[in-house]
Structure 1
Amino acid sequence: MPRLLTPLTRAVTYTRWLHLVVTVILPLVMAMVFPGLTDASPAEWLLIAVQPVPLLVLLAALVPAARTAEGLQARLMLFPGAHARDGAGSPGDDHGVSAAPSASWNDRLRTGIWLVLRLEVGCAVAAVSNVMAGLCLALIGAAFGDPGVSAAYPLPGTGWWYGLLAVADLAVLLAFVTVVGALMARAAAALLGPSAKERLARLEERTERLLERNRIARELHDSIGHALTLAVVQAGAARAAGDPRFTEQALGAIEETGRAALEDLERVLVVLRDPARPAGARPDLREADRLLESARSSGARVDAEVSGPLEKVPGPVSREGYRMLQEALTNAVRHAGPLPVGVRIGVEDARLRIEVRNPLPEAGKGTGLRGGGSGVRGIRERAALLGGEASAGPEEGIWRLRVDLPLG
């Protein structure tokens, strides 16, 4: 029983009713010109209901914004949401209904069908509402002793039972309006829903958002992970050494690494707070020395070889190469410890090649960079997005990471 009465408490039931009933304004206005509203025959009422159809079809075909207007109305009046005060949605919900103007003849066709459907269903709902409301008024009058309240529905006699019939009449009307409103909401989603072009645009937009989120996650992982790893390693080395001079150097390195990480974090937060604002300049391979010095300051023995004009590497490739090198050095410091780390950065044959290698700490244990980790996986993803490739794995007691990126 409570479920049957639920539609009576939902504002959307009545907004759907209103959305349909207001469509009769147009045919009634046109009927005042022809054929008139006085003593209209059934055939004339049928003519009144279909008379606006050519105008609506022409409107849908010639005015692309008609789809926008109908879509916005459908969102507000046919679907639950904050405006309907039932907590089932939010003002931003589109419920599968587009508010974009018609962009193709298919959109115009579907908009025309919707306008005609809304007109005819609205006329039917208005007619049924008028009949049922008039009958309900007559039944209430008969229940209170006046059977002639409505001349259109004369009733024999009076009696309290007419009150029960009035309640039943009203219940039937509300049930009819509820069912028709629900069906029209489904029709709106089908006829006013996004076109194939709009769905593709939404999918592309969603893909761009996901890619941006992944890029930001990688930025935070590489930058903050690198800084924390070096800070932990340097702090541990300083405590173990017990040398005030070494401790001073370690604290200075931690400070510099932390400051660089804060700059990276602020740059990412600027993008998250206001996507329209351009992000600050990201570091690239021309600043590779900073990474190498940070790794050396943590106690690692880094032997680096740089060849080729790094300043001529395109910006996107150089920036992503910097992050790949940063992640590789972070993992080397984390897993290899004080063992020597070899780094080679070369630009040749229109390609950027990066190689980081370190001896495995112990056979079967502490295998340096772990191919299944998120760090190496992130490097592979970055390389793939740039049309290159990355590989990592043990080779004769050496853990070796190779990155090969095209400069084009």
Structure 2
Amino acid sequence: MHPLHRLFRPLTRTVTCTRWLHLVVGGLFAMVCMFVYPGEGGGRSALLLGSLATVPPLVVLGLVPAVRVAEGVQARLMLVPGLRSRGPDRSEAAAIATAPAASWADRWRTVGWLVLRVQLGTVTLAASVWLPTAAVDLAVHRQWAYALLAPLPLVALAALVVGAGELVAAAARWLLAPSAAERIAALEERAERLLEHNRLARELHDSIGHALTTAVVQAGAARAAGSPEFTERALGAIEETGRHALEDLERVLKVLREGAQDPAGRPTLADARRLLDAADGSGAEVIAELTGPLESVPGPVSREGYRIVQEALTNVLRHAGPVPVTVRIAVTGDAVELDIRNPLPGPRPAAAPRRGSGLRGIRERAALLGGRAETGPYEGGWRVSARLPTA
């Protein structure tokens, strides 16, 4: 980069203009105090007295918690617009808080920020008026030697605007920075958001994966059977499974787009019968044993239990094919017990499920609810067993 271009580059940045405007607005408060100051005098002395007269009202104003919100928003918009940093949230503006002052330390830091902003703004405003005037006076002076010095006040003004802008931006990141409690709350919110995204990813994996696996298996079975009646049942099962998968997809996308809470309508163990019917329609011989009041199972436990059964049946169809499956769902006094077993046609399918993320998701779902889940070979077949506490 050419040295001259590097020298004048700060003057061409939009942020330099917005910072200058932010400072000038702060200096206007001192000008108002200058006009209402009861003493005599004018010019520089009156402006100095006016800037000092702003301190008492700024102290009172800074102690109001809501003022921190207004100052933080202004600082974000005008001092760091569009800038990026290397922080975890990639936004330098996040270093400036936009929440009400929650402690006296936050309030006094707001007071310090207001006083610094107005005093520095007063200097910038005065220089923005006096230095261009001085440049004009030098340019029209009768002696030509003075005209050669006319650019110097403008250069000084440019340096002052750039330097004061950098100073006020650094002060905002220090005096208006989030407190330790606010930073912890932001980290907790980010962690909750990541956990929610991981949960939605598992939802899509289980729902869409189950629908695609069921559709592929049923389509293959219908083509091999060559029976119009079987083909019609298979197409109906594919349609129903696809419809439920689309509903899950729309629900997850709505949560991601709008940032809303996960709406109601997620399937629960009370809807487990449709999973069993879909697996049975795919050619698997399903032997089901459902005991206990499935409708009374708490919502989170019931929804996660549904997904565990769904992933287990999906793995059966994907890795073992249309084989007999034994599904037991039992609701006891303090837990829900899930047990899904199927024979293995050969040694290869026994190891294949371990390469995916479905079995890990089953164990994670159970662990999040304080339960446990076991997956693996059992008595010559494959077994998925989970116990989810309800109390």
So what's the TM-score if we normalise by structure 1?
0.84
Instruction: Report the counterpart of residue 333 of structure 1 in structure 2.
Output: 317
Among 25, 34, 39, the alignment partner of 1:35 is 39
- Taking the aligned partners of 1:115 and 1:312, their CA distance within structure 2 comes to 58
| Residue type at the aligned position of 2:60 | L
Among 188, 202, 218, the alignment partner of 2:186 is 202
CA 36–100 in structure 1, closer or farther in 2 if over 3 Å, else same? farther
Q: Give yes or no for contact 2:283–2:323 (8 Å, CA) kept in 1.
A: no
CA 350–35 in structure 1, closer or farther in 2 if over 3 Å, else same? same
- Taking the aligned partners of 1:226 and 1:3, their CA distance within structure 2 comes to 59
Among 9, 13, 29, the alignment partner of 1:26 is 29
- Range 168-177 or range 222-231, more displaced: 168-177
Is 1:6–2:5 an aligned residue pair? no
Instruction: Report the counterpart of residue 53 of structure 1 in structure 2.
Output: 55
Q: Percent of aligned pairs with the same residue?
A: 57
Instruction: Report the counterpart of residue 85 of structure 1 in structure 2.
Output: none
* Residue deviations 1:145-204 (CA, integer Å, cap 9, x gap): x3xxxxxxxxxxx22x54442223312220221012112111112211222333333333
Aligned with 2:326: secondary structure?
strand
Is 1:394–2:380 an aligned residue pair? no
| Residue type at the aligned position of 1:186 | A
Aligned with 2:177: secondary structure?
coil
Instruction: Give the deviation of 1:208 after TM superposition.
Output: 3.1
Is 1:174–2:158 an aligned residue pair? yes
Cα RMSD (Å) of the superposition?
Answer: 2.6
Instruction: Give the deviation of 1:276 after TM superposition.
Output: 4.5
| Residue type at the aligned position of 1:323 | R
- Taking the aligned partners of 2:259 and 2:165, their CA distance within structure 1 comes to 40
- Range 395-404 or range 222-231, more displaced: 395-404
Instruction: Give the deviation of 1:351 after TM superposition.
Output: 0.8
Instruction: Report the counterpart of residue 78 of structure 1 in structure 2.
Output: 79
Aligned with 1:366: secondary structure?
helix
Is 1:96–2:79 an aligned residue pair? no
| Residue type at the aligned position of 1:51 | A
Q: Give yes or no for contact 1:95–1:189 (8 Å, CA) kept in 2.
A: no
* Residue deviations 1:53-111 (CA, integer Å, cap 9, x gap): 222112112x22221222222223222349xxxxxxxxx98452222222211110110
- Range 265-274 or range 51-60, more displaced: 265-274
Instruction: Give the deviation of 1:329 after TM superposition.
Output: 0.3
Instruction: Report the counterpart of residue 220 of structure 2 in structure 1.
Output: 236
CA 353–277 in structure 1, closer or farther in 2 if over 3 Å, else same? closer
Instruction: Report the counterpart of residue 345 of structure 2 in structure 1.
Output: 361
Instruction: Report the counterpart of residue 296 of structure 1 in structure 2.
Output: 280
- Range 329-338 or range 283-292, more displaced: 283-292
Aligned length: 380
- Taking the aligned partners of 1:39 and 1:246, their CA distance within structure 2 comes to 97
* Residue deviations 1:111-170 (CA, integer Å, cap 9, x gap): 01101111222233334444433331222113xxx3xxxxxxxxxxx22x5444222331
Aligned with 1:390: secondary structure?
strand
- Taking the aligned partners of 2:267 and 2:43, their CA distance within structure 1 comes to 83
- Taking the aligned partners of 2:78 and 2:287, their CA distance within structure 1 comes to 69
- Taking the aligned partners of 1:163 and 1:382, their CA distance within structure 2 comes to 79
* Residue deviations 1:199-228 (CA, integer Å, cap 9, x gap): 333333323332332232222221221111
Instruction: Give the deviation of 1:356 after TM superposition.
Output: 1.4
CA 136–311 in structure 1, closer or farther in 2 if over 3 Å, else same? same
Instruction: Give the deviation of 1:40 after TM superposition.
Output: 7.0
The answer for unaligned runs of 5 or more in structure 1 is: 83-91, 147-157
Instruction: Give the deviation of 1:392 after TM superposition.
Output: 1.3
The answer for unaligned runs of 5 or more in structure 2 is: 84-90
Aligned with 2:99: secondary structure?
coil
- Range 9-18 or range 262-271, more displaced: 262-271
- Taking the aligned partners of 1:37 and 1:126, their CA distance within structure 2 comes to 19
| Residue type at the aligned position of 1:74 | A
Q: Give yes or no for contact 1:336–1:368 (8 Å, CA) kept in 2.
A: no
| Residue type at the aligned position of 1:373 | G
Instruction: Report the counterpart of residue 286 of structure 1 in structure 2.
Output: 270
- Taking the aligned partners of 1:69 and 1:338, their CA distance within structure 2 comes to 65
- Taking the aligned partners of 2:115 and 2:310, their CA distance within structure 1 comes to 63
| Residue type at the aligned position of 2:161 | V
| Residue type at the aligned position of 2:5 | P
Equivalences for residues 63-212 of structure 1 within 5 A? 63-81=64-82, 94-142=93-141, 146=142, 158-159=143-144, 162-212=146-196
| Residue type at the aligned position of 2:80 | F
Is 1:384–2:367 an aligned residue pair? yes
Larger Rg belongs to: 1
Aligned with 1:371: secondary structure?
helix
- Taking the aligned partners of 1:216 and 1:21, their CA distance within structure 2 comes to 48
* Residue deviations 1:313-366 (CA, integer Å, cap 9, x gap): 112211211111011100111101133222221122411111112223322x12
The structure with the greater share of residues assigned to helix is: 2
